Amino acid sequence: MTNVIVYGTKKRINNFVSHTLMERFMHFTNQEKAVIDCLHKWRVSTRKNLCGFIKISHMTVVRALKKHGYYTSYNKNSAYYTLKDIPTFDANGLWSHQDIHFSRHGTLVETMLSLVEQSSSGYTVHEMEKLLRTKAGNLLCLLCREKRLSRYYTGRYAVYLSTDSSVQAKQKSQRQQQVEETRIATELVPTPKKELPEDIDIMTVVNVLIKMIELPKASVASLSRSLRHQDIGTTADEIRKIIKFYSLKKKRHSEHS
């Protein structure tokens, strides 16, 4: 008897969901469907381009986007749109189409707040801008003044942390550990004629060296993946540059990506 009831309940739920989805689809006008079709084809677009191409009003585009669900770019003055079912977000909730960037978290402010809260050691301005690929310094300062983020200094760098005291304490402790590891690794860096590989900063070099010490048998690709998991976006090509520049020895099988 119980099984019959459960089955009947599931069937009613499935019918309701199917009916709701069909009803939602049926509420799209032909012009609204054209908006959705265009965005599925183009992947991203501005409202102006959609209006001009389909020859429809601004409000028609807005209605279509609201019915289907959408994301707004966090750069380019939030002028670009993509549909909810298009992005494949990475571990940080970020997705890009060429130089247009989107976030699962929403706006640039909402994205920075979420990233800081989820981070194990907070973010410097440089780290945040490298991850988001857009300017973030002024907004981080503003969020700090509004007490939506906390901040402390380690050397010359400001590190932005959670305002939650327990999370903040863990982030600060992890950051201090990283600073100490950086100091030790910096002492191990050889001093060739040129101090750094071209287009690579000292923090990237230090992070790679630390990771190579932690994972001496890891491949270049594995090192890059491991760094990305720590919110450090170092590419395999950058790691190869560092290895070559400092003549660091790795086993041949470890150099394949």
pLDDT per position as a tens digit, 51-83: 999 999 999 999 999 999 999 999 999 999 999
Strand runs labelled E in 167-215: none
The pLDDT confidence band at residue 19, using thresholds 50, 70 and 90, is: very low
Q: At what angle do helices 125-132 and 108-118 cross, to 10 degrees?
A: 120
Residue owning tokens 């002024």 = 138
CATH architecture entry for 2-103: Orthogonal Bundle (1.10)
CATH topology for the 108-164 domain: Arc Repressor Mutant, subunit A (1.10.10)
Question: CA 70, CA 90: separation in Å to the nearest integer?
Answer: 17
Q: Around 223, how many Cα atoms within 13 Å sit in the side-chain half-sphere?
A: 31
Does residue 16 have a pLDDT over 70? no
Question: CA 86, CA 38: separation in Å to the nearest integer?
Answer: 12
Q: At what angle do helices 236-245 and 202-214 cross, to 10 degrees?
A: 90
Q: Model pTM?
A: 0.64
